[in-house]
Amino acid sequence: MSSKKIAVFPGSFDPITLGHLDIIKRALPLFDEIIVAIGTNAAKKYMWSLAERKEKLEAAFSDHAAISIADYKGLTADFCKKNNAQFILRGLRNTTDFTYEQTIAQANEKVNGVDSVFLICSPEYSHISSSIVRDIARNDGNYSSLIP
130 is catalytic: yes
90 is catalytic: no
Query: For residues 65 and 31, what is the distance between their CA atoms, to the nearest angstrom?
Result: 12
Query: For residues 50 and 71, what is the distance between their CA atoms, to the nearest angstrom?
Result: 8
Query: For residues 95 and 109, what is the distance between their CA atoms, to the nearest angstrom?
Result: 21
Q: Choose, from 3, 44, 45, 144, the residue flagged as catalytic.
A: 44
Query: For residues 31 and 61, what is the distance between their CA atoms, to the nearest angstrom?
Result: 15
Q: Choose, from 56, 90, 116, 130, the residue flagged as catalytic.
A: 130
Q: Choose, from 5, 81, 93, 134, the residue flagged as catalytic.
A: 93
3 is catalytic: no
Peptide bond into 148 cis (omega under 30): no
DSSP state of 145: G
Query: For residues 54 and 58, what is the distance between their CA atoms, to the nearest angstrom?
Result: 6
Show which residues are catalytic: 20, 44, 93, 130
